Structure 1
Amino acid sequence: MSTFKTNVFVNCPYDDHFRPLLRPLLFTVLRADLNPRMAAERLNSGETRFSKIVELIKESKYAIHDLSRIKAKRAGEYFRFNMPFELGLDVGCSCFGTVEQLSKRCLILEKEPYRYQIALSDLSNSDIAAHHDEPLRVVAAVRHWLVNDVGIDLPGPSGLLDQFTQFMADNYDDLLSHGFNKTEIPNLTVPELIRYMREWVSANI
């Protein structure tokens, strides 16, 4: 059975700095009874990253693209082109794909409003949400998109963030009781994190 209509491709950085934003983003998607899909969901070293991303894009009706790392922070640091590249693949699939894929929808996130126009002027007329590296703003942007563009009923942003915070507290205690130490918990893999979030939402919402 196809899961195309409930899959959400999440295209974002995996670094430590973005992790406080990624967790509530994933929680909000799961809270909407949708299925977040990421390249990090499978840890098969024999699978090329590009082929994995193409497969995920083709299988997902929805996508969330974060472009907040397209600007280098220090002199000599390279720009991060993975995220805009994957955004381009997703937009191309929605324009040139199958009849089903023509219905694809996406949300684009950035750190600051209008900054993306310097690097990606083709998006100058697009509706892009700025999160300022704040978890509540990420939750609000994803929540408003899911409610208004996708048509899913969800609590307000603050209520969702409260639920996420409760999940994090409960999950922390559960992981400690399952043999994790305090330094290992922040490095929980994406597949495990999504599984624990899904189980918590099912049991508590």
Structure 2
Amino acid sequence: MFRILVFVIQACGYEVRCALESQDAGEVRMSKILRLIKECQFGIHDISRTALDPENGLPRFNMPLELGLFLGAAYFGNPVQRQKHTLVLDSERFRYQKFISDIAGQDIKPHGNDPGRVVYAVRDWLNVFAKDTLLPGGKTLLRLYKRFTADVPQMIHKLNFHEADISFADWLWLVRDWLQKATR
């Protein structure tokens, strides 16, 4: 889901930002997340990965925490921060009410763990903000993504990588490079 999200955002002409973009051990992770929130006008938060960890039986609440920080910045921030826009994704329509009911009333977009639905949700949301541009349609983006994923093994092979070696930075580079060549 994360990889298709990265692809769609880039294919729509937006820059992907993520805490994984920096591997600086000297930067505290929460500081990095807060810096990114401060720098970004748009925030996409997929809270569907809030599930029990089989090892310890506890949920991971990183995404809801980051969503809360983003919403707080938009609510309490200066005029620039108040211009933030948020997309919240979850696997089921009202699932979030079981673990984060305080966001009831938000316009949560369910994706049913279907990458195609993620493509449409993100594209349609970003299209609202694409002032003088009409973004590619969902079917076009899905078709591009299928072509891209078909080319990925060869691209990885040329770089002498293995699939397991691909970091966020590598994936983002592959997406950008492929899109640049494919859309010429």
TM exceeding 0.5 = yes
Instruction: Give the unaligned 5+ runs of structure 2.
Output: none
For 1:202, give the aligned amino acid: Q
| Paired letter, 1:204 | A
Give the whole-Å Cα distance in 2 for the aligned partners of 1:134 and 1:27. 15
Query: Is 1:155 aligned with 2:136?
Result: yes
User: Which whole-Å deviations, capped at 9, do the CAs of 1:42-84 have from their partners, x for residues lacking one?
Assistant: 1112221100000000000000001112232659511111111
Code of the residue aligned with 1:42 in structure 2: it is S
Q: Of 123, 140, 164, which aligns to 2:145?
A: 164
Counterpart residue type for residue 109 of structure 1:
L
Corresponding residue of 1:195: 173
Deviation of residue 158 (structure 1)? 2.2
Query: Residue 131 of structure 1 is aligned with which of 106, 111, 114?
Result: 111
Q: Is the 8 A contact 1:139 1:161 kept in 2?
A: yes
Q: Does 1:28 align with 2:18?
A: no
**Cα deviation code 1:144-201 (max 9, x no counterpart):** 1111355552222222011012112223202212212xxx224410011111211211
Cα distance in 1 for residues equivalent to 2:55 and 2:31:
32
Determine the C-alpha separation between the residues in 1 that align with 2:141 and 2:77. 34
Q: Which amino acid aligns with 2:174?
A: Y
2:58 match: secondary structure: coil
Q: % of aligned pairs identical?
A: 36
The match for 2:158 is 177
Separation in 2 of the partners of 1:71 and 1:178?
Answer: 35
The number of residues matched between the two structures is 182
Structure number with the higher helix fraction is 2
1:62-109 per-residue CA deviation (whole Å, 9 max, x = no partner) reads 000011122326595111111111101000111111211110001000
Q: Map 1:64-83; keep pairs closer than 5 Å.
A: 64-72=44-52, 76-83=56-63
Aligned to 2:21: 41
Q: Supply the distance in 1 between the matched residues of 2:164 and 2:148 (Cα, whole angstroms).
A: 14
Structure 1, unaligned runs of 5 or more:
1-20
Structure 2 residue 43 is matched with structure 1 residue 63? yes
Q: Contact between 2:53 and 2:60, CA under 8 Å: does it hold in 1?
A: no
Show the counterpart of 1:89: 69
Q: How far, CA to CA, are the matches of 2:10 and 2:29 in structure 1?
A: 24
CA contact (8 A) 1:65 1:83 kept: yes
TM-score (norm 2): 0.91
